[in-house]
Amino acid sequence: MAQNGGQGGPPREWSPSSWRTKPIKQVVAYDSPSAVTSALTKLSSLPPIVTPTEIVKLKASLRDAALGKAFLLQGGDCAELFSYCADGPIDSKIKLLLQMSLVLIWGANKPVIRIGRMAGQFAKPRSSPTEMINGKEIPSFRGDILNGFDTNERTPDPDRLVAAYFHSATTLNYVRAQLASGIADLHNPLDWGLGHVRDKELQSKYQKIVHSIADSLRFMRTVGADTAGQLQTVDLYTSHEGLVLEYEQSLTRRLRHPANYTSAKNEGGGKGWYNTSAHFLWIGDRTRQIDGAHVEYFRGIENPIGIKVGPSMQSDELVRLLDIVNPTKEIGKVTLITRYGEDKVEKMLGPHIEAIKGSGHVVVWQCDPMHGNTRSTETGIKTRHFSSIFSELSLALKIHKQHGSFLGGMHLELTGDAVTECVGGSEGLVEEDLSLNYTTYCDPRLNEKQALELAFLVAGHYRE
């Protein structure tokens, strides 16, 4: 495929393996190259986990989000573990994302696109390759796709690459089966569980939203607005950070485009390169170097992609990145996932919005209010304050408005379970509570009550 890499000069060839010629960050050193080769050979023979039809459908929806006609809700664990591939955690995450999306639809008055950070979010970039445990320096945990959290399992194991595929496929199979069996059937009453909201005024505000949603659903059923069965299920897409490029390459397939889809890549032959491991992949803040391996890999695939945008991103760098991964300026192809921190968003977001406006790119602006707001308690526990998370989100909403832009979505680390990892919210979790149920293997997640509350607050923002 001939495509200009955005650097000027002659077009550079792209292939699923062309990233191997570029400098790479977060590289993995395996003990046995032959075991890696056999794992990758196995992966290359396995069927796609997702299909071009689904990928293209999501990309079309994201075009709507880029144009302000839809809102993107993306959420899930920081580090998904193989052991989360079980009915309980999957069910609770589906239900939570569904409830949050209903609240956001009510608030923003637009369709909501749901993407789980799940069915493949197994790889973690780390700031340091090693850590000290009990006075001993050992390799850091890098996610279940590479090594184990148990200190005896920190050596990267190539068999985990294949295990990641099967856990992704099994998770998505169960998600699909549950959706087809009515887990998201809006004819069934939803349990909103607002009993924990101690502030009476807030509780009645949330209760009103819930009543309003229930009324709307009842009305739709009564007038027979459900003839095509639209209330029986919803779309839920999957996503992960595309960090382990060996894995991503093995699942990148040259496949026929869906009917009625014209690829912006214009490669001819009616086919294109699809990453079939997930519908949506993003480049992390640590691996987004213009000349690096990850950007090289990402520029060749048809999937919609995300780019994390942290406080070190320069405006001209951001535009150059977009020119490389999206030279045809396809609308909605790229989601910019901004994660500056509540203290930096005011300084950073406006100039980035203006730079993109001037470039002719039309992106989905998604706020990740988690990663710029991680703090450590005095005893060294990683946490995030609910108020900081909401503050970055509401500042992002305000700044977009000021610049004649709009927020197209939010990206959250959350779980459907009652964990105690972030402080604040209506439950009133404080630092002393963190040890009650602190189960994350990486960053602190919003629990189900905090996540739903955030959806209520964002919805309220739109309705004000």
User: d(Cα 368, Cα 391) in Å, to the nearest integer?
Assistant: 12
Which range binds ligand PEP by CB under 6 A, 81-89, 137-145, 252-260, 280-288?
Answer: 280-288
Which range binds ligand PEP by CB under 6 A, 206-214, 279-287, 320-328, 394-402?
Answer: 279-287
For 343, the token pair is 């203290």
User: d(Cα 424, Cα 315) in Å, to the nearest integer?
Assistant: 34
Q: Which does 167 bind (CB under 5 to 8 A by kind): Mn ion, ligand PEP, none?
A: none
Residue 78 lies near ligand PEP (rule: CB under 6 A)? yes
User: d(Cα 276, Cα 51) in Å, to the nearest integer?
Assistant: 6
For 47, the token pair is 């069927």
**Closest approach of Cβ 364 to ligand PEP, in Å?**
16
Size of site (CB under 6 A) for ligand PEP: 10
Contact positions with ligand PEP (CB under 6 A) in 443-462: 443
Residue 294 lies near ligand PEP (rule: CB under 6 A)? no
CB nearer ligand PEP, residue 265 or residue 294: 294
CB nearer ligand PEP, residue 233 or residue 239: 239
Residue 284 lies near ligand PEP (rule: CB under 6 A)? yes
CB nearer ligand PEP, residue 126 or residue 253: 126
User: d(Cα 160, Cα 300) in Å, to the nearest integer?
Assistant: 26
Residue 257 lies near ligand PEP (rule: CB under 6 A)? no
CB nearer ligand PEP, residue 311 or residue 327: 311
Residue 142 lies near ligand PEP (rule: CB under 6 A)? no
**Closest approach of Cβ 340 to ligand PEP, in Å?**
10
| Distance (Å) of CA 165 to CA 33, 248, 278 | 19, 10, 10
Q: Which of 285, 302, 323, 427 binds ligand PEP (CB under 6 A)?
A: 285
The CA dihedral of 430, 432, 435, 441, to the nearest 10 degrees, is 50
User: d(Cα 115, Cα 120) in Å, to the nearest integer?
Assistant: 12
Size of site (CB under 5 A) for Mn ion: 2
User: d(Cα 47, Cα 37) in Å, to the nearest integer?
Assistant: 18
Residue 445 has phi, psi (to 5 degrees) of -105, 155
Which range binds ligand PEP by CB under 6 A, 208-216, 217-225, 278-286, 383-391?
Answer: 278-286
Count the neighbouring beta carbons within 10 Å of the beta carbon of residue 383.
20
Task: Collect all residues with Cβ–Cβ distance below 8 Å to 391 and sequence separation of at least 6.
Answer: 342, 369
Q: Which of 371, 400, 445, 449 binds ligand PEP (CB under 6 A)?
A: 371
Residue 443 lies near Mn ion (rule: CB under 5 A)? yes
Q: Which residue lies nearest ligand PEP, judged by its C-beta?
A: 284
Q: Which of 308, 333, 352, 449 binds ligand PEP (CB under 6 A)?
A: 308
User: d(Cα 448, Cα 100) in Å, to the nearest integer?
Assistant: 10
Q: Which does 352 bind (CB under 5 to 8 A by kind): ligand PEP, Mn ion, none?
A: none
User: d(Cα 261, Cα 441) in Å, to the nearest integer?
Assistant: 40
Residue 305 has phi, psi (to 5 degrees) of -130, 160
CB nearer ligand PEP, residue 148 or residue 284: 284
For 252, the token pair is 């990148």
Nearest residue to 282 (alpha-carbon basis) of 323, 331, 336: 336
Nearest residue to 294 (alpha-carbon basis) of 330, 250, 246: 246
**Closest approach of Cβ 194 to Mn ion, in Å?**
28
Q: Backbone dihedral region of 182: left (phi > 0), alpha (psi from -120 to 50 degrees) or beta?
A: left
CB nearer ligand PEP, residue 108 or residue 309: 309
**Closest approach of Cβ 100 to Mn ion, in Å?**
18
Q: Which of 72, 78, 283, 355 binds Mn ion (CB under 5 A)?
A: 78
CB 326 within 8 A of CB 295: no
Residue 292 lies near ligand PEP (rule: CB under 6 A)? no
Residue 125 lies near ligand PEP (rule: CB under 6 A)? yes
**Closest approach of Cβ 371 to Mn ion, in Å?**
6
**Closest approach of Cβ 313 to ligand PEP, in Å?**
11
User: d(Cα 174, Cα 86) in Å, to the nearest integer?
Assistant: 9
The 3-state DSSP class for residue 174 equals: helix
Q: What is the 3-state secondary structure (H, E, C) of 206-235?
A: HHHHHHHHHHHHHHHHHCCCCCCCCCCCCC
**Closest approach of Cβ 14 to ligand PEP, in Å?**
23
Which range binds Mn ion by CB under 5 A, 28-36, 198-206, 341-349, 441-449?
Answer: 441-449
CB nearer ligand PEP, residue 123 or residue 179: 123
Residue 242 lies near ligand PEP (rule: CB under 6 A)? no
Supply the angle between the helices 345-359 and 315-325 in degrees, to the nearest 10. 50
Which residues of this chain interact with Mn ion, rule CB under 5 A? 78, 443
Which residues of this chain interact with ligand PEP, rule CB under 6 A? 78, 125, 284-286, 308, 310, 339, 371, 443
